[in-house]
Amino acid sequence: MNKISYFRKKIFMLKNFVKLILLSSIIISCKENNNSLPIEKMGATKPDSIGLVANIDGANIYDKDTLTLEKIGKLKYAEKANTINFHKNQTFIKINFKGKDAYISKKDVEIISPEIYKKSYFAKDCYCLLGSDKIRTINFPTPYDTIHFLFNNNQITMVQQILYYRTDKNVKEIQNDLKKLKYSTVYKYINKDNFYSSEIIDPNKKESFLDCYNSKTNYTIKENKPVLSSNYDDVVYELYFAQNLFNLDVCYAKGNYENFVKPLTNFDFKSQNLIIEQDKSQINKDVSIKLYEINTYKPIAYNKNYISFNYLREIKMIEKDGQKKYFAKINVLENEGSSLAGEYYIVLNEVAMFASISN
């Protein structure tokens, strides 16, 4: 091969290499453009759903005049947005932001129907969605108390507790005439990211109370309109959150649900004192509390029907004799009549009564 042929061959190979690079860049560019096409094609439609920010951290709002998303604002948790266009297969939702079109990531918002919106509870700081597509029910702590697990898309979004008020007299009367007994209904709301974020207390169906745990704010609700109430002391919020988190975990264990909720980080629930009393005044019988050693999971000698503790909430599921047991770590405080103290396990699905706040 002469030198001219050799250089021609080299030039030909170089041209092919350059073409290959150009073709690759065109393909990559097309892929990038194709990824952005669903946003570009979003027109104005009349949506049948309402967009709500569901993430505790809020959600970024983007402008899209070019192929690059640019952050132009942020929606706070529970802040509503007017939806212009929504499609279940699109990554972004088109919204109205300060009179102009903007975009928000679908993963940062919760889409609900107007029907669910009307019967749910909304406040400035949080909300409770009362809709569900499936319900499972258990009776606990007595056969006459009711726990409803409300689902959406196979995830628990609400735990409804219907509990009778307990006194020394009415525990025995429960079997005779349920209609004469007063009860309370409590909705514990779990958002789509599995955070236990708020609670509705509905004692008489005329007035409700919405506790927003993310902001430690309390609202009184009359005729579905929330009015800011006097704020609880931070210590009271810690106490209620610790109590309700433990009781919610007991409900999950009783229902054999392993995906326990996430607690909010603004609560030091582990330092709060709780108490379980499993006596006749609560459940019409005396039930001893069982404690287990940390390393061996073996039961220890503890024959009391009451215990004072801090909930450390290290939960481990262990299967024994074909049954799932949910071991949760607690710090036992010295009780009157018992010198027992320190860290032990308690099995959540063995607990026969809800915990309350220790006086």
What pTM, to 2 d.p., does this model score? 0.81
Residues 6+ apart with CB under 8 A from 271: 238, 310
Domain boundary among the residues 70, 88, 112 is at 112
Q: What is the mean pLDDT of the chain?
A: 81
Q: Is 199 helix (H, G, I), strand (E, B) or coil?
A: strand
The tokens of 87 are what?
């499609």
Does residue 43 sit within a domain? no
Residue 198 sits in which domain range?
117-231
Domain boundary among the residues 211, 231, 251 is at 231
Q: What percent of the chain has pLDDT over 70?
A: 79
54 and 139, same domain (yes or no): no
Does residue 102 sit within a domain? yes
Of 55, 44, 129, 37, which is closest to residue 82 (Cα–Cα)?
44
Domains contained in the chain, number: 3
Does residue 54 sit within a domain? yes
What are the start-end ranges of the H helices in the chain? 3-40, 114-119, 170-173, 234-254, 280-283
The tokens of 267 are what?
């609560």
Q: Encode burial over 127-152: b for 16+ CB neighbours within 10 A, e otherwise.
A: bbbbbbeeeeeeebbbeebbbbbbeb
87 and 61, same domain (yes or no): yes
For residue 3, the model assigns a pLDDT of 41
The pLDDT confidence band at residue 160, using thresholds 50, 70 and 90, is very high
Q: What percent of the chain has pLDDT over 90?
A: 43
63 and 106, same domain (yes or no): yes
Q: In what order do the strands lie in the sheet with 80-85?
A: 70-75, 59-63, 100-105, 92-97, 80-85, 50-53, 109-112
127 and 213, same domain (yes or no): yes
Cβ–Cβ under 8 Å, residues 81 and 124? no
pLDDT in tens, 309-356: 999 999 999 998 889 999 999 999 987 667 789 999 999 999 999 999
For residue 300, the model assigns a pLDDT of 94
Q: Which residue has the higher pLDDT, 78 or 26?
A: 78
Domain boundary among the residues 87, 112, 137 is at 112
Does residue 166 sit within a domain? yes
Of 165, 127, 125, 132, which is closest to residue 149 (Cα–Cα)?
132
CATH of the domain at 100: 2.30.30.40
217 and 311, same domain (yes or no): no
What mean pLDDT do residues 202-211 have? 81
- Rounded to whole angstroms, the Cα distance separating 327 from 329 reads 7
Preceding omega of 141 cis (within 30 degrees of 0): yes
What Rg, from alpha-carbon coordinates, does the chain have?
28
101 and 125, same domain (yes or no): no
List % helix, strand, coil for the chain (3-state, nearest 5). 25, 40, 40
Does residue 358 sit within a domain? yes
275 and 205, same domain (yes or no): no
Does residue 254 sit within a domain? no
130 and 216, same domain (yes or no): yes
136 and 226, same domain (yes or no): yes
pLDDT in tens, 68-105: 678 899 998 888 888 888 766 678 888 888 888 889 98
Does residue 237 sit within a domain? no
For residue 51, the model assigns a pLDDT of 78
Q: Is 95 helix (H, G, I), strand (E, B) or coil?
A: strand
348 and 288, same domain (yes or no): yes
DSSP string, 31-90: HHHHHHHHHHT------SSEEEE-STT-EEEEE-SSSS-EEEEEEPTT-EEEEEE--TT-
88 and 187, same domain (yes or no): no
Cβ–Cβ under 8 Å, residues 307 and 289? yes
Does residue 319 sit within a domain? yes
121 and 105, same domain (yes or no): no
The pLDDT confidence band at residue 175, using thresholds 50, 70 and 90, is low
Does the pLDDT of residue 10 top 50, yes or no? no
